[in-house]
Amino acid sequence: MITQLDVDGIPTVLAPTTGPMHAGLAFRVGFADEPLAKRGITHLVEHLALHSFGVADYHYNGATGVEYTFFHMQGAEADIVAFLNGVCTALNDLPMHRLSTEKEILRTEENGRSEGPTEALALWRHGARDYGVVTYPEWGLTGITPDDLRAWVARYFTQQNAALWIAGPAVPAGLKLTLPSGYRQPVPAPSSALPVRPAYFSGPSNVVAWNSVVRRETKAAVFSGVLERALFRSLRQESGLSYTVASNYEPRADGSAVISAFADALPEKQGAVLGGFVDVLAAVRLGVIDPAEVTTVVNQRCEEMTHAEENGGRLPGQAFNVLAGRPILTLEEALSELRAVTLADVVSVAASAFSDGLLMTPGRTGADWAGYAAAPNSSEQVVQGTAYPSLEDPALSLVAGERGVSVVGDGSAATVWFDQCAAVLTWPDGARRFVGHDGIQVSFEPTLFANGHALVPALDARVRPELRTPMPPRDAERIPVPRPPDQQAQGYGENAAKEEESEGGGTAGAVVLLVLLSPILVFTALLTVIMLLSAVVDSEDTGGEVILGLSFLSVAAACGYGVYRAIRRLRNR
């Protein structure tokens, strides 16, 4: 049974557990709260707050998520008290002498992180704000200052913006959670970069993924489980097209939830996997669901929830509910909601999810045929301003104006308006990357455009200072330089020569071709003449001799072409 109480003014949920005691302190702040220009600041606070604990005999950790950040510890009561009290002490006075070191640790951590199969969906759905920020690197780390950190802590890591959970018999003696006073912070309103839904965009060639935002309800969680079982049965068990098939239900604090699903694919099977995936989504939308599947998922969730209640696994979610202003449900109430879900409930969620769906198709495949609209990947408008031609590509130009900046070329454009700019990455050598709220980016290398360096100060002056995100200096060899005009003009010829060399192995390949093909050419040409002459002189088997003659002629022609290419390659050297 969960008990609600206060500890030092912080709302707390407590429940006995069959396992070791554990506790956690959660704050209503996460990646979705960060402006792109300060991306990584919450993670940095978490690392600095944990620095003093070093290597310990007990298990402790911190985690920064999309909407919440928490510090968790499992062990003896005295260890839990020391840990949570120490976290609060560190938040009141972060060890700023560790700032540069922790930044490097976070950069290293990020460098080793791989993108999840459904991660790109958040970017295409939300752009470069709130729930889409999580898909971007922690670009803000370089420019974050001690003052930035103190302001962030004062806003989000406060007594009124915290909740505590304790899996154990009682509040441990000596627990003193001293935090600054503040306010409960609301969750950000989700933005949208999709003008139309359902929509699709092209992703990697080895995966199909999909997500949808629905109401946060128990029946939506059941639908997620039913969808995973349907995809697994269709794509793995029946057709053998996929190995890994999974779905996920992620509740949000604003009363919505994200349902996502994916299936892996071989590049040569991507069309079949996409078709099977879309067919499953269409089937569940139309109610083609075995009622036994709903029963199975409900029973599984009930079992998982009961086990989580025994070991305290439900408590973190309940603490998050407190921060979101949502009610705390007892185990009996939660199980009752689960068991009340019907097939009709699941079908209603499926229909709602389809209408809001975003599909990531593999490789160059599309989904127009299935009723999905292409998500925009370029800009419809170009700013009015001065055009700066590329020094390498005559068809490419940068257009800079009072209201924004565009890159135009190849029949498409990318535009970022200054009043809809999420961040501007700035390098000491003058390079700039503008990121719009919709996720569209404009990269500007001043070395590659006429009068490029003279344009940099004007661009910087038109962007709000808080949006500028300084980046580490680049090595000289990583700064691009335009190719000389003679190389630009000869580019095609050089590439063609390289292709010929790679196809035939250069001079050695040409010589080998001549040695091998020349005698074959002579021999097959001689046989062709003999067969055709025999057909004229001997009328008994004219048809067979003509066929043989033509066969030898085709072989001779192929050898002749090979000899011609080899001679041409040798003459061009």
- Taking each helix axis as running N to C, give the angle between helix 41-50 and helix 146-156, from 0 to 180 degrees, rounded to the nearest 10: 90
pLDDT for residue 59 = 80
Q: Which residue has the tokens 């975003």?
A: 358
> Which secondary structure element, helix H or strand E, spans residue 556, and what is its range?
helix 542-571
pLDDT, residue 482, reads 85
Residue 270, φ and ψ in degrees, nearest 5: -60, -40
Pure H helices in 136-184 = 146-156
Query: How many CB atoms neighbour CB 169 within 10 A?
Result: 12
- Segment 257-284 shows an average pLDDT of 97
Give the strand pairing for 162-167 and 10-15: parallel
Token pair, residue 281, equals: 């989504």
Residues linked to residue 260 through DSSP beta bridges, in sequence order: 211, 248
3-state secondary structure of 154: helix
Q: Which residues contact 517 (CB under 8 A, 6 or more apart)?
A: 559, 562, 563, 566
Distance CA 285, CA 275 (A): 15
Task: Flag whether pLDDT at 432 surpasses 50.
Answer: yes
Q: Is 162 helix (H, G, I), strand (E, B) or coil?
A: strand
Average of per-residue pLDDT across 186-208: 96
> Which of 164, 111, 156, 115 has the alpha carbon at shortest distance from 138?
111
* Residue whose C-alpha is closest to residue 78's, from 173, 213, 211: 173
Residues in the chain: 573
Identity at 353, one-letter amino acid code: A
Whether pTM exceeds 0.85: no
Residue 20: C-alpha distances to residues 1, 195, 270, 313, 487 (Å):
17, 50, 47, 12, 69
Nearest-angstrom CA–CA distance, 175 and 62: 19
In this structure, are residues 161 and 7 in contact, taking their beta carbons and an 8 Å threshold?
no
Q: How confident is the model over 311-321, as pLDDT tens digits?
A: 999 999 999 99
| Per-residue confidence band for 567, with pLDDT thresholds at 50, 70 and 90 | low
Confidence of residue 65 (pLDDT cuts 50, 70, 90): very high
pLDDT of 494 higher than 50: no
DSSP 454-519: HHHHHHHHTS-GGGEEE-PPPPGGGS--PPPHHHHHHHHHHHHHHHHHHHHTHHHHHHHHHHHHHH
Three-state DSSP class for 198?
coil
Averaged pLDDT of the chain: 89
pLDDT the model gives residue 119: 93
Per-residue pLDDT at 429 exceeds 80: yes
